[in-house]
């Protein structure tokens, strides 16, 4: 479309310069301005288009589900992290983890407040959950996402999002 506008402008200028056309100079200027305005409007609409959510970019629910299930397989085999999940309902945890990731990736989900996240993790903190465990958790999740088809750029974006929740999960508020 850009080229069409350029061609139109060149043709208008050519017709005006060689005197072959019957349009006067004022009409030519108006037509050129109209074409330029249309191009600017299209450019603005392109720039204003909403960015697709991370949830959709990574493949939505099928990828999140696969990654979370793979993650829990890895987590339960990990000596550092598995101790925090010994007495839990695995399927319930998987569903909650999926809902959390859907939320932070911009997908359909319930909204967890920071206080809810703090409360649910306090018993784990009392068991010794700390920043080293949190980093291991994130690493296992990123590995699972990549194995589920998420590209490295999006995995890095997800790592940053997950890391932004560290103080909340570890209840570092006012400490």
Write out pLDDT tens, residues 90-99. 999 999 999 9
Mean per-residue pLDDT over the chain, rounded = 82
The 10s digit of each residue's pLDDT in 53-73 is 999 999 999 999 999 999 999
In tens, the pLDDT along 12-45 reads 444 444 444 455 667 667 766 776 676 666 566 5
Angle subtended at Cα 114 by Cα 174 and Cα 96, rounded to the nearest 5 degrees: 140
The answer to whether the annotation marks 121 as part of a ligand binding site is: yes
User: pTM surpassing 0.75?
Assistant: no
In sequence order, which residues have a C-beta less than 8 Å from that of residue 99 and are 6 or more positions away?
109, 110, 112
Architecture of domain 54-169: Orthogonal Bundle (1.10)
**Helix or strand holding residue 17 (H, E):** helix 2-18
pLDDT at 127 over 70: yes
- Please report which confidence band the pLDDT of residue 88 belongs to, taking 50, 70 and 90 as the band edges: confident
Q: Residue 114: how many CA atoms within 13 Å on its side-chain side?
A: 9
Residue 11: pLDDT band with limits 50, 70, 90:
very low
Structural domain spans, the chain: 2-48, 54-169
pLDDT at 158 over 60: yes
Give the model's pLDDT for residue 85: 86
Cβ–Cβ < 8 Å for 141, 96: no
């Amino acid at each position: 479309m850009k080229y069409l506008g350029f061609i139109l402008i060149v043709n208008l200028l050519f017709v005006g310069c060689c005197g072959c056309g019957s349009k006067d100079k004022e009409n030519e200027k108006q037509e050129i301005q109209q074409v330029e305005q249309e191009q600017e409007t299209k450019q603005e609409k392109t720039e204003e288009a909403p960015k697709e959510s991370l949830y959709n970019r990574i493949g939505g629910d099928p990828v999140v589900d696969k990654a979370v299930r793979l993650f829990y397989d890895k987590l339960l085999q990990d000596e550092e992290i598995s101790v925090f999940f010994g007495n839990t309902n695995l399927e319930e945890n998987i569903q909650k983890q999926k809902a959390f990731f859907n939320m932070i990736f911009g997908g359909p989900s319930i909204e967890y407040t920071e206080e809810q996240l703090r409360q649910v993790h306090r018993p784990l903190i009392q068991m010794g959950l700390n920043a080293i465990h949190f980093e291991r958790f994130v690493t296992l999740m990123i590995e699972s996402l990549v194995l589920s088809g998420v590209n490295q750029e999006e995995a890095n974006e997800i790592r940053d999002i997950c890391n932004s929740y560290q103080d909340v999960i570890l209840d570092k508020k006012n400490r």
